[in-house]
C-alpha cells in the first residue's frame, strides 16, 4: 500500500544508514554541492564511459540498424522508470533506486548474455574463475571506470556501499516471489555466484524485481516487431488472457500495481499468486520462443567467433616484459585495436613502458602513465594471469560495433 515502506527507507533514521552511505574511498567535497550521496552516485554513473557505451550494446536482439529495438541503455532506463514508480508509491528512497538502476548493467559484455557466457568460458579455462555481469559490474565501478575530479585528476567512481551492493545483488534471472533485504554488512567481494546473497536495502530489492518486470514485456514487444513470434501469437494471447493487450506498457503497469498492492515490510516484495504464475509463464514462453529460438543461433555463433578471436589475438602476444614489443608488431595489422588496448592497459598498470614502439600508430599511447591519475593500479605485465584478466575486462567493456570492427581489423589485410 502507499507509503507502507516509509519506515524502512534508506534515510538517516535507518539503523543501516552509516553502512549504506559508506564509501571505501571518501569522495572529494565542495561547499557548492547541492546533491545527496545517491545523487552524486547517479551523476557519476551517467557521466561514465561505461554508461555511454550501453547504447551500443545488445539487450536481446542484435539489430544495429533498427532504431526501435531495445538496446542495453534503454533497458537500464526502463528499470530506472519502474523502480522510481515503485519506490515513490511505497515510500522508499527514489534517489537510491535511480542510482542503482542506471549502474546495474554496467558490467554487461557486448552481445548480451551470449557474450557473457563466452567470456565465462574463457575465464574458467584460463583463470579458473567465473565471469558474470553482476560481479563484473562491481569490478568496473570499483576499479576500471574513471572520472576527472575538479582538479583534473582521474579517479575511480568510489560509489556508496548501497549502490555497489545493488549492482552485484540485482540478478533478475532467479525465480523467487518473496524478496527481502539481508541484515549483514558483508564484503561484496565475498559473492561467488549470482544471487548468493539478498540485497542490503529495500531499494536494491526493488531494482532487482524491476529488472525482471522491465525485460519480460519489452522482449516480447521487440520479438513481435521483428516477426519472430508470428507463429506464436495465438499462444501468447491465450497465455496473457483476453483482457490483457500485448503491449509492454500494459504488462508493466499491471505487474507494478499488483506488486505494490501485495507487498509489505512484513511479507516482503511479493506478487499475488495469479500474477506470479503469469510472470513465470511469460518467462518460460520467452525462453522457448525468443531466447532459445533457432533464429538466434547464427548471430550467437558469430559472437563466439568475434570474442574468441579478439581474446586469442591479444593473448598470443604475451611474453612477459616483451609483450608490448609483440603488440607493437601486431599493430601493423590491427593498429586501432592494439593502440586502444595498450593505452587502456597502461591506465591500470604498475609498469611504465615509455619506449613501446617506433610504429607511428602507437606513438600517441599515454606514455605519461600515473601522470594525472589517482586510480587503483591493477595489472602487472610480468604476471600472465593479470594480462589475461585485463583482456577479458577490456573486451567486456566493448560495444558490439567496436568488437566487430576489431574482429574485422584482425582478419583483414
Residues with Cβ within 8 Å of 368's Cβ and at least 6 positions away in sequence, in order, are: none
pLDDT tens digit sequence for 231-265:
998 888 888 775 556 667 878 898 999 999 999 99
Do the domain assignments include residue 258? yes
Q: Does residue 398 lie within any of the structural domains?
A: yes
Grid cell of 209 as nine digits: 524485481
Distant-in-sequence, close-in-space partners of 50: CB < 8 Å, separation ≥ 6 = 106, 140, 141, 144, 145, 397
- Claim to verify: residue 203 and residue 281 sit in the same structural domain: yes
Q: Is the pLDDT of residue 209 over 60?
A: yes
| Same domain for 265 and 184 | yes
CATH at 193: 1.10.3210.10
Query: Are 176 and 274 in a shared domain?
Result: yes
83 or 174: which leads in pLDDT = 83
Q: Residue 359: which pLDDT band, with cuts at 50, 70 and 90?
A: very low
Single residue among 268, 292, 316 that ends a domain in this structure? 292
Same domain, 233 and 348: no
Query: What would the pLDDT profile of 33-82 be if each residue is shown by its tens digit?
Result: 889 999 999 999 999 999 999 999 999 999 877 888 899 999 999 999 99
- Are 23 and 42 found together in one domain? yes
In a domain, 310, yes or no: yes
pTM for the full predicted model? 0.92
Tell me the residue range of the domain where 266 lies: 6-106+145-292
For position 47, what pLDDT does the model report?
96
Residues 277 and 326 in one domain: no
Question: Considering the chain, what is the average pLDDT of its residues?
Answer: 91
What is the per-residue pLDDT for 242? 53
Residue 366: the pLDDT is 39
Residues 281 and 364 grouped into a single domain: no
Q: What is the pLDDT of residue 407?
A: 98
Crossing angle of helices 94-103 and 37-46, in 10° steps, is 20
Position 99 pLDDT exceeds 50: yes
pLDDT band with cut points at 50, 70 and 90 for residue 174: low
Please report whether residue 138 resides in a domain.
Answer: no
* Residue where one domain finishes, among candidates 292, 318, 337: 292
Question: In this predicted structure, what is the pLDDT of residue 367?
Answer: 38
pLDDT (0 to 100) of residue 353: 43
Q: Pick from 237, 257, 292: which residue ends a domain?
A: 292
* Residues 234 and 345 grouped into a single domain: no
Give the Cβ contact number of residue 47 at 10 Å.
13
| Same domain, residue pair 150 and 196 | yes
The number of CA neighbours under 13 Å toward the Cβ of 400 is: 23
Does residue 303 share a domain with residue 241? no
Confirm whether 122 is domain-assigned.
Answer: no
- Specify the number of domains making up the chain: 2
Q: Report if residue 373 sits inside a domain.
A: yes
Kindly indicate the confidence band of residue 370, based on its pLDDT and cuts at 50, 70 and 90.
Answer: low
- Asked if residue 126 belongs to a domain, the reply is no
58 contacts 113 by C-beta, under 8 angstroms: no
Position 105 pLDDT exceeds 50: yes
* pLDDT tens digits along 149-166: 888 888 999 999 999 999
Check the CA dihedral 170-172-174-180 and report its sign.
Answer: positive
Phi, psi for residue 264 in degrees, rounded to 5: -160, 160
Question: pLDDT by residue (tens digit) across 2-27?
Answer: 999 999 999 999 999 999 999 999 88
45 located within any domain: yes
For residues 166 and 182, state if they share a domain.
yes
- Report the distance separating Cα 150 and Cα 30, nearest Å: 9
- The answer to whether residues 240 and 327 belong to one domain is no
Amino acid at each position: 500500500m502507499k507509503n507502507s515502506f516509509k519506515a524502512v527507507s534508506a534515510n538517516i533514521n535507518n539503523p543501516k544508514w552509516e553502512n549504506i552511505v559508506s564509501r571505501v574511498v571518501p569522495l572529494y567535497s565542495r561547499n557548492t554541492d547541492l546533491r545527496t550521496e545517491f545523487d552524486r552516485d547517479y551523476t557519476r554513473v551517467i557521466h561514465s564511459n561505461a554508461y555511454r557505451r550501453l547504447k551500443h550494446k545488445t539487450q536481446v536482439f542484435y539489430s544495429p540498424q533498427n532504431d526501435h529495438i531495445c538496446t542495453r541503455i534503454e533497458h537500464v532506463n526502463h528499470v530506472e522508470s519502474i523502480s522510481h514508480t515503485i519506490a515513490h508509491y511505497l515510500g522508499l528512497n527514489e534517489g537510491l533506486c535511480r542510482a542503482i538502476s542506471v549502474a546495474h548493467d554496467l558490467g554487461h559484455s557486448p552481445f548480451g548474455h551470449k557474450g557473457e557466457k563466452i567470456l565465462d568460458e574463457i575465464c574458467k579455462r584460463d583463470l579458473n574463475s567465473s565471469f558474470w555481469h553482476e560481479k563484473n559490474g562491481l569490478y568496473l565501478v570499483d576499479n576500471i571506470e574513471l572520472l576527472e575530479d575538479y582538479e583534473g585528476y582521474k579517479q575511480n567512481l568510489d560509489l556508496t556501499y548501497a549502490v555497489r551492493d545493488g549492482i552485484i545483488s540485482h540478478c533478475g534471472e532467479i525465480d523467487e516471489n518473496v524478496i527481502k533485504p539481508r541484515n549483514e554488512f558483508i564484503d561484496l567481494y565475498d559473492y561467488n555466484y549470482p544471487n548468493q546473497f539478498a540485497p542490503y536495502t529495500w531499494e536494491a530489492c526493488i531494482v532487482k524485481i524491476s529488472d525482471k518486470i522491465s525485460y519480460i514485456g519489452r522482449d516480447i514487444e521487440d520479438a513481435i516487431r521483428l516477426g519472430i513470434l508470428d507463429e506464436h501469437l495465438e499462444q501468447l494471447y491465450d497465455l496473457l488472457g483476453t483482457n490483457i493487450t500485448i503491449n509492454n506498457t500494459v504488462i508493466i503497469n499491471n505487474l507494478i500495481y499488483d506488486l505494490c498492492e501485495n507487498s509489505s515490510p512484513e511479507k516482503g516484495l511479493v506478487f499475488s499468486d495469479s500474477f506470479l504464475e503469469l510472470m513465470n509463464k511469460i518467462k518460460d514462453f520467452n525462453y522457448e520462443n525468443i531466447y532459445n529460438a533457432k533464429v538466434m543461433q547464427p548471430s550467437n555463433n558469430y559472437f563466439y567467433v568475434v570474442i574468441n578471436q579478439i581474446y586469442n589475438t591479444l593473448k598470443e602476444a604475451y611474453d612477459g616484459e616483451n609483450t608490448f614489443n609483440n603488440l607493437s608488431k601486431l599493430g601493423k595489422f590491427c593498429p586501432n585495436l592494439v593502440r586502444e588496448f595498450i593505452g587502456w592497459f597502461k591506465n591500470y598498470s604498475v609498469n611504465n613502458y615509455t619506449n613501446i614502439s617506433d610504429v607511428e600508430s602507437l606513438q600517441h599511447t599515454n606514455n605519461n602513465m600515473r601522470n594525472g591519475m589517482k586510480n587503483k593500479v591493477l595489472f602487472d605485465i610480468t604476471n600472465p594471469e593479470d594480462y589475461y584478466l585485463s583482456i577479458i575486462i577490456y573486451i567486456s567493456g566493448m560495444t558490439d560495433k567496436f568488437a566487430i570492427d576489431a574482429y574485422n581489423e584482425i582478419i583483414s589485410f
